[in-house]
Every structure is written in structure tokens, then in C-alpha cells.
Amino acid sequence: MVTNSQEGETLPATSSVTGLPQKRFYRQRAHSNPIADHSFDYPARPEDVDWRSLYPNIGSEQQVEFADIGCGYGGFLVTLGEMFPDKLAIGMEIRVKVSDYVIDRIAALRMKNAETSAYQNIACIRTNAMKYLPNYFQKSQLEKMFFLYPDPHFKRAKHKWRIINQALLSEYAYVLRSGGLVYTMTDVEDLHKWIVSHMTQHPLYERLTDEEANADPITPKLYQSSEEGAKVVRNKGDHFLAIFRRI
């Protein structure tokens, strides 16, 4: 066991080199049943959420505007926080260990960067985004929503578990403001076609043109900064991107 050179509190699953939590202590299987009752505590309404406990420096009128749905191990969320230091971004993850990893990661990053107060604008909550988005966000609150490498749930019986489906698109449109953007990325072509088909059919979304998508500074980050994305690049897989605007 390597002795930690740092004094004071360190999390045991923390690397002595980087001071950040190590993923191997937080592994959990990728698939999860979102329909079953997973969360046992969630707010009844957005007004009941204690945002200050997640964002210590939150301004009195400030609200979360970016949401990474199924943020996994938080790679993209961290990038988002760095790109937009004045915006509050939240990661939502249903898996207990994985969300805990992200929470620990953010805490470690904040501690390491205490002088610059960086990473105070990102947070992660363990919750079922398919059921509880309206519990956390008011109507038209969000500016951007991210669905990066969502679980494809291949079997037809499980299609209702897919995070993008006709019924849920209406709920996402409710929390997203007019002009807001939905970013979707996957390496499964079948899922990409499903997403594009459903979102195109839904009257409240229109797809961005390739020019518009490429002009967005976030687009290049979608490929690499999430752990799933980096894995796809390593395995030389395909990336399928679709960005939609909420009308």
C-alpha cells in the first residue's frame, strides 16, 4: 500500500498521483432498468431542491441551464464546466456507484482548484432522469440537454426503456426552453436512426443542419471528452451525431 504523501483527508480510492478518485473502485454494470423504482428520494417539485448544496457559489437568481442526461463517469460534464464557467451544468446518473464517482471527482477537482474556485459550476445527482426531470426543472428552464452514448436497449421489448422515445420527448420539450438544443451522440447506428426518426417526427424539434452542427464549439468535445466517446475512438468505432433545436 503506497503511503499518501498528502496530509489531511484523502479518499481511499484516490490516486496518490493525481489526487482524484480511481474508477476501479466505482465499477458498476452498464445496464439498468429505468422503469423500476430506483430512486428512493427525489424532490416533489423544483422549488424544493436545495441547489446551494450542489453549487455552493450559486447566485440568488441563478438556475441550472445545462443537463447531461446519463453523465456516466463525468468526463463530458467536467469539459462542459471548463468551457462555460458562468453556466451551471448538472449531470444526472441512475447508477449508484457511477454517480458517486462523479460526486467524488467533482469534490476532488474543487479541492485541487480551491484558489481559482473552478468546478463550482458542475454537480452530479443520482436520479432517474426518465421519471423525474419535471421534479427538478421548471418549464423552459434548460438551455442545453445532452444524451451521449445512451443505453441502446437492443431488445424490442425494452424499447420503452430507451431514453429517447416519443412520450419522453414531450417531457424534455417541457423543461427545455424555446431555441434550446438537444445534443445526441451514439456509436450504435440503429439507435441513431431511432433517435433521428423520433425527434424528426416530434412537432417540437427541428434538426440542425450539418453547417450549424459543425459551427457549434461543443461539437468537437462530444467525440472525445466523455469516457464512452474516447473508448469508441480507441476501438475505431463510428460516431453518429444529431443535434436538434426545440422550436
Partner 1 sequence: MTTIFYAEPELVLGHGRKVLFLNPNDLQIFKDIELPADLTTCGLKIAAGETNEEQQQPVGSEKAAAAGTNLEVSIVNVSYSPDRQLIALTTAGQKALLLYKSRPEHAKLLSVRALARASSSLAFAPDSSSVLVTDKTGDCYRYDCVELEAPPQLLLGHLSIVYDILWTPDQKYIITCDRDDKIRVTNYPATYDIHSYCLGHKEFVSGLALLTGTEHLVSASGDKTLRVWNYLSGKQLLQHELPAPAVRLQLRQLLPAKRFQVAVLFYDHVEALGLYELALDEQSNDAWTIARQQLVRAEAGSWNISCFALTADSIYVAGALDERLTLRVYNSSDGEQAKTVPTGWLDMVTERFADQTCVPEDLSVWFKKRYDNVSDYMERKKRRIEDHQQQQQQQKS
Binding-site sequence positions: 70, 93-94, 128-129, 148, 226-228
Q: Does 193 bind partner 1 (CB under 8 A)?
A: no
Instruction: By CB under 8 A, tell whether 135 contacts partner 1.
Output: yes
Distance (Å, rounded) from C-alpha 17 to C-alpha 184?
Answer: 34
H or E segment and range at residue 144: strand 142-148
Q: Which of the ranges 72-80, 114-122, 152-160, 207-215 carries the binding residues for partner 1, by CB under 8 A?
A: 152-160
Q: Report DSSP state, residue 73.
A: T
User: Which run of H or of E encompasses 186?
Assistant: strand 176-186
Query: Binding to partner 1 by residue 196, rule CB under 8 A?
Result: no
* Residue stretches of the annotated binding site for S-adenosyl-L-methionine: 70, 93-94, 128-129, 148, 226-228
Query: Quick one: 35 or 230, whose CB is closer to partner 1?
Result: 35
CA gap 64, 8 in Å, rounded: 32
68 close to 80: Cβ distance less than 8 angstroms: yes
Residue 232 is a binding residue for partner 1 (CB under 8 A): no
167 contacts partner 1 (rule: CB under 8 A): yes
Select the residue interacting with partner 1 from 80, 106, 109, 130 (CB under 8 A).
Answer: 130
Backbone dihedral angles phi then psi of residue 145, each to the nearest 5 degrees = -130, 140
Residues 6+ positions from 118 with CB-CB distance below 8 Å: 81, 82, 85, 109, 110
Q: If binding is defined by CB under 8 A, does position 191 make contact with partner 1?
A: no
Q: Binding residues for partner 1, per CB under 8 A? A: 1, 3-4, 11-13, 25, 35, 37-38, 40, 44-46, 96-97, 100, 126, 130-131, 134-135, 139, 156-157, 159-160, 165-171, 173-174, 202-204
